[in-house]
Amino acid sequence: MKFSRLALLICLFQVFFLAAHAQDSSNCHVRISLLTCAPGQELYSTFGHTAIRITDSIRRTDIVYNYGTFDFDDPNFYMKFVRGKLDYFLSAAYYPDFMVEYQEDQRSVTEQILNLSCSQKMQIVRALEINMQGSNRMYKYDFVYDNCTTRVRDLIFGSLPGSGITKQLVPEGTTPRNLIHSYLDRGGEPWSKLGIDILLGAKLDRPLDNKVAMFLPDYLLKGVDSAVINKTQPLNEQKRMLLDVPSPVAASWNYTPVALFTILCGLLAVLYLSPGKRAQAVSRFIDSFLLYFTGVLGILLVFMWWGTDHKMTKDNFNLLWALPTNFIAAFFLWRNPLWLRRYFYVAFAINAILLAGWFWLPQEINIAIAPLVLLLLFRYAKLAQRRI
């Protein structure tokens, strides 16, 4: 009798042990996968998108969680967006509804099923449930350090202590700007590239590591592909294409701004060198426009640096050519006081230093700006020597 009871206790212990082991295995009823969406035609979709998919075979649910949602109908949308105060938030959608947009836009979607234990899956599910509650859903978007992809990256790797990536995702010395340029060049968006290079400052030119590289969806996909848990176990259990669409061929020529600025500045230089009072009068109007334009742009860059919450718009060396003080100088150009001529000497020196140190600055300046800087240098020299 005692033996039978002992045997029963042993059997019950084995049942409970096996049940617990089964509950902790990767074969539990929840499946978690990373969805990587290909870039689209619009600027906001140029860099692709990331979401996380939770499939529960017992509850028969298939939900996609998306950290890249914002309210376009917010009455102060544009002002909040410009100032970096726009709230992005976590949203959830049924998987078929999520896929409709990408089917309509003809954008590929790749799924990577994550090789996680049940406890690791439950940790991610609980984190998502907490993030879906009230104000927890909201966050202030940062292009490199806190976006819809980095949120998913931190969610996945945060639940996997001891995990690691087995290869370098980008060459040594690569910066976020280098990666952004590769997407804009591939998408045929040279003007967007110019605008981003003007607005975003030196913080975008810091060399990145594997973690920071995964701020872009494609690099998070590569990171998951090469990641291991428990030293040898691959994180990516299965990879498949949910929607396979050929990438569109870009029609734009990526050197359009360089060519246009070179031609335009060359024509203006010819006009400046033309003799005659009419040419001189036209030159004066062009000088006023250049000073107003660079001055207003400089004021905008100062505002983006000091008046917004955007981290990437700070430390902007474009202020060496887009001088905010040019806006004031434009008002006194026709009077030509002595202090203004001295100001143009200073402006000439600043632009000369910019050109001399072009390739050694801690920030990459878009090459399309070079013809404009040369033109400004030429005009500052002439205006500094001008007499009424």
For 241-272, what is each residue's pLDDT tens digit?
999 988 766 655 677 899 999 999 999 999 88
The dihedral region occupied by 230, where left means phi > 0, alpha psi between -120 and 50, and beta the remainder, is: left
Average pLDDT, the chain: 87
| Residues 267 and 220 both lie in one domain | no
Give the sign of the dihedral formed by CA 235, CA 133, CA 49, CA 304: negative
> Do residues 226 and 299 both lie within one domain?
no
User: Residue 190 falls within a domain, yes or no?
Assistant: no
Query: Does residue 98 sit in the same domain as residue 219?
Result: yes
User: How does residue 230 score in pLDDT terms, banded at 50, 70 and 90?
Assistant: confident
The average pLDDT across 194-218 equals: 95
Does residue 346 sit within a domain? yes
3-state helix, strand, coil in the chain (%, to 5): 55, 15, 30
Decide if pLDDT at 19 tops 70: no
Same-domain check for residues 220 and 311: no
In a domain, 203, yes or no: no
Q: What angle is formed at CA 357 by the lines to CA 353 and CA 361, rounded to 5 degrees?
A: 120
SS3 of 193-240: the string is HHHHHHHCCHHHHCCCCHHHHCCCHHHHHHHHHHEEECCCEECEEEEE
Tell me the pLDDT band of 60, cut-offs 50, 70 and 90.
very high
Instruction: Please provide the DSSP assignment of 273-285 as one string.
Output: H--SHHHHHHHHH
How many CB atoms are located within 10 Å of the residue 137 CB?
A: 17
Task: Judge if 61 and 100 occupy the same domain.
Answer: yes
Q: Considering only 81-85, 251-255, 284-288, 309-313, which range has the smallest mean pLDDT?
A: 251-255
- Among 219, 243, 267, the domain boundary falls at 243
Kindly state whether residue 239 falls inside one of the protein's structural domains: yes
Query: In terms of Cα–Cα distance, which of 146, 124, 158 is closest to 67?
Result: 146
Q: Are residues 97 and 233 in the same domain?
A: yes
* Same domain as 306, residue 220: no
Kind and range of the H or E run holding 329: helix 326-331
Mean local confidence (pLDDT), 264-284: 87
- Residue 193 vs residues 4, 48, 188, 293, 309: alpha-carbon distances, Å: 78, 16, 9, 19, 22
Q: Are residues 100 and 223 in the same domain?
A: yes
Q: What is the pLDDT of residue 12?
A: 36
Q: CB of 346 within 8 A of CB of 381?
A: no
| Count of structural domains within the chain | 2
Segment 85-93 shows an average pLDDT of 88
Same domain, 77 and 134: yes
CB atoms within 10 A of CB 234: 14
- pLDDT-derived band at 73 (thresholds 50, 70, 90) equals confident
Nearest to 297 by CA among 274, 324, 271: 324
- Torsion angle of the four alpha carbons 203, 187, 37, 43, in this order, in degrees rounded to the nearest 10: 60
Rounded to whole angstroms, the Cα distance separating 69 from 202 reads 28
Is the pLDDT at 77 greater than 50? The verdict is: yes
pLDDT at 247: 75
Average pLDDT over residues 44-49: 88
Q: Is a pLDDT exceeding 50 seen at residue 11?
A: no
Residue 334 within a domain: yes
Q: Domain range holding 148?
A: 24-170+208-243
Q: Which pLDDT score is estimated for 252?
A: 59
Which of the four pLDDT bands, split at 50, 70 and 90, describes residue 388? low
Rounded CA separation 190/46 (Å):
12
- The DSSP output letter for 146 is B
Other CB atoms within a 10 A radius of the CB of residue 328 amount to: 13
pLDDT at 253: 67
Residue 330 has which token pair? 């434009």
The pTM of this model reads: 0.86
User: Residue 388 and residue 379: Cα distance in Å, rounded?
Assistant: 16
Residue 91's contacts (CB-CB under 8 Å, 6 or more residues apart) are 65, 66, 69, 137
Q: Output the pLDDT for position 69.
A: 87
User: 221 and 75, same structural domain?
Assistant: yes
Q: Residue 386 has what pLDDT?
A: 75
- Residue 45 inside a domain? The answer is yes
What's residue 251's pLDDT?
A: 56
What distance in Å separates the CA atoms of residue 249 and residue 352, rounded to the nearest whole number? 40
In the chain, the percentage of residues whose pLDDT exceeds 70 is 89
Residue 93 CA to residue 62 CA, distance in Å, equals 9
Residue 71 — pLDDT band, cuts 50, 70, 90? confident
User: Is 201 part of any domain?
Assistant: no
Phi, psi of 52 (to 5 degrees): -125, 135
Mark whether 226 and 369 lie in a shared domain: no
> Residue 266 domain-assigned?
yes
Q: How far apart are CA 192 and CA 200, in angstroms?
A: 12
Mean pLDDT within 98-112:
94
Residues 67 and 117 placed together within one structural domain of the fold: yes
| Mean pLDDT, residues 334-339 | 86
State the Rg of the chain over Cα: 28
